[in-house]
């Protein structure tokens, strides 16, 4: 019987996660049944949504149970198969979580072509983050040539793809990130028109100066002070795809400070704003084939670039995850689990 090293949720965090919230175990995997495959994890994706799954608060997805394997997208090699659709040696993308080996149904896996792009990109620009950017921007943001878009966490896998797709559609892209190195990447690697540092003491003034014609699309990734600076600058009929609120993920209880919800509603009404939260799975049936075709083409043409922040070894996944939530990553966070 195969054995897997796995990282499970040991306790629910109060505020920011710590290493104590995780535990490493070794477990035996069950024998394969018909239609199943045995997978060896090559790459594990780390994403902000996982912080929400560590909580038992009501959300769009069930929380990870105490003692259960942490969830996550994976690129894996098939090492044994009892399924006609896959054979030993195939490389697939799935959802095996934080573990070195897993048994999975072949029907839930997608075979990858390593000649098309590095297989790790199936967890980033050619995977869930890239599709989140593609679907949220095109379906909710509805970019039109000549408009202005603002996106924060803009060197991350979602934000960087949002800005580059917007540029392809003829939109002026303003990216917000933390620190001079990330600002430089926005301009040099991702082709944004403007790059701002949210840590600057005069950030709100810089943002106002950068959007003299206002903001038509704000792709919401972070909330917090960045959103506070953005909302007064939204144009009439602006669109706000709400993808994430990473600045608030570690908050427990009600947000401190005055209740600004009435003012937010007033802006929605008086400026005829469209504000819609979304989960990328809502658009899979409609858009995923188009996404794979178009994004692969844009990458091949050099119109979309990507950065990966790779950590070696599954044992370092908790540290990398905590660092990501603190903004210490530079690009898509991936753990290389095996060669």
Q: For residues 126 and 121, give the distance between their C-alpha atoms in angstroms, rounded to a whole number.
A: 5
How buried is 229 (Cβ within 10 angstroms: 0-12 exposed, 13-18 middle, 19+ buried)?
A: buried
CATH superfamily of 128-281: NAD(P)-binding Rossmann-like Domain (3.40.50.720)
Asked if CATH classification 3.40.630.30 holds for the domain at 3-123+307-336, the reply, yes or no, is no
Please, which pLDDT band fits residue 60 given cuts at 50, 70 and 90? confident
Mean pLDDT, to the nearest integer, of 140-147?
98
Check pLDDT > 80 for residue 270: yes
pLDDT one-digit tens code per residue, 279-330: 999 999 999 999 999 999 999 999 999 999 999 999 999 999 999 999 899 9
Q: For residues 219 and 137, give the distance between their C-alpha atoms in angstroms, rounded to a whole number.
A: 7
Could you give the 3-state DSSP secondary structure of residue 98?
A: coil
Could you give the 3-state DSSP secondary structure of residue 76?
A: strand
> Which range among 177-181, 211-215, 253-257, 269-273 shows the weakest confidence by mean pLDDT?
253-257
Please, which pLDDT band fits residue 244 given cuts at 50, 70 and 90? confident
What letter does residue 139 receive in the DSSP assignment?
A: I
Could you give the 3-state DSSP secondary structure of residue 280?
A: helix
Check pLDDT > 90 for residue 59: no
Token digits for 176? 């917000």
9 forms bridges with which residues in the sheet? 22
Mean pLDDT, to the nearest integer, of 161-178?
98
Check pLDDT > 70 for residue 269: yes
How buried is 312 (Cβ within 10 angstroms: 0-12 exposed, 13-18 middle, 19+ buried)?
A: exposed
Distance of CA 174 to the CA centre of its chain: 19
Map out the domains of the chain as residue ranges: 3-123+307-336, 128-281
Quote the mean pLDDT of the chain: 94
User: What is the predicted pLDDT for the residue at 57?
Assistant: 84
User: What is the predicted pLDDT for the residue at 254?
Assistant: 58
Q: What is the pTM of this model?
A: 0.89
Mean pLDDT, to the nearest integer, of 242-246?
85
CB 26 within 8 A of CB 44: no
């Amino acid at each position: 019987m195969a054995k897997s090293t796995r990282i499970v949720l040991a306790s629910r965090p109060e505020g920011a996660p710590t290493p104590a919230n995780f535990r490493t175990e070794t477990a035996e995997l069950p024998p394969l049944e018909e239609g199943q495959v045995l997978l060896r994890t090559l790459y594990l994706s780390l994403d902000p949504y996982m912080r929400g799954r560590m909580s038992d608060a009501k959300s769009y997805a069930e929380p990870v149970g105490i003692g259960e394997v942490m969830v996550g997208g994976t690129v894996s090699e098939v090492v044994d198969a009892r399924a006609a659709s896959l054979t030993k040696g195939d490389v697939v993308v799935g959802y095996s979580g934080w573990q070195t080996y897993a048994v999975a149904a072949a029907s839930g896996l997608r075979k990858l072509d390593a000649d098309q792009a590095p297989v790790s990109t199936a967890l980033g620009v050619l995977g869930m983050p890239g599709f989140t950017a593609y679907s949220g921007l095109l379906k909710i943001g509805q970019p039109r040539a000549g408009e202005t878009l603002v996106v924060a966490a803009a060197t991350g896998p979602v934000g960087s793809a949002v800005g580059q797709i917007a540029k392809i559609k003829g939109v002026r892209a303003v990216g917000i990130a933390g620190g001079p190195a990330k600002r430089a990447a926005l301009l040099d690697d991702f082709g944004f028109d403007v790059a701002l540092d949210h840590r600057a003491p005069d950030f709100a003034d810089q943002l106002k100066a950068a959007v003299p014609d206002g903001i038509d699309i704000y792709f919401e990734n972070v909330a917090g002070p960045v959103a506070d600076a953005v909302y007064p600058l939204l144009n009439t009929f602006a669109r706000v795809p709400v993808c994430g609120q990473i600045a608030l993920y570690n908050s427990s209880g009600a947000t401190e400070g005055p209740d600004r919800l009435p003012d937010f509603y007033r802006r929605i009404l008086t400026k005829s704003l469209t504000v819609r939260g979304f989960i990328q799975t809502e658009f899979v049936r409609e858009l995923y084939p188009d996404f794979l075709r178009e994004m692969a083409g844009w990458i091949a043409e050099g119109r979309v670039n990507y950065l990966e922040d790779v950590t070696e070894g599954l044992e370092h996944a908790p540290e990398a995850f905590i660092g990501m939530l603190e903004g210490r990553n530079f690009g898509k966070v991936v753990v290389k689990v095996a060669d």
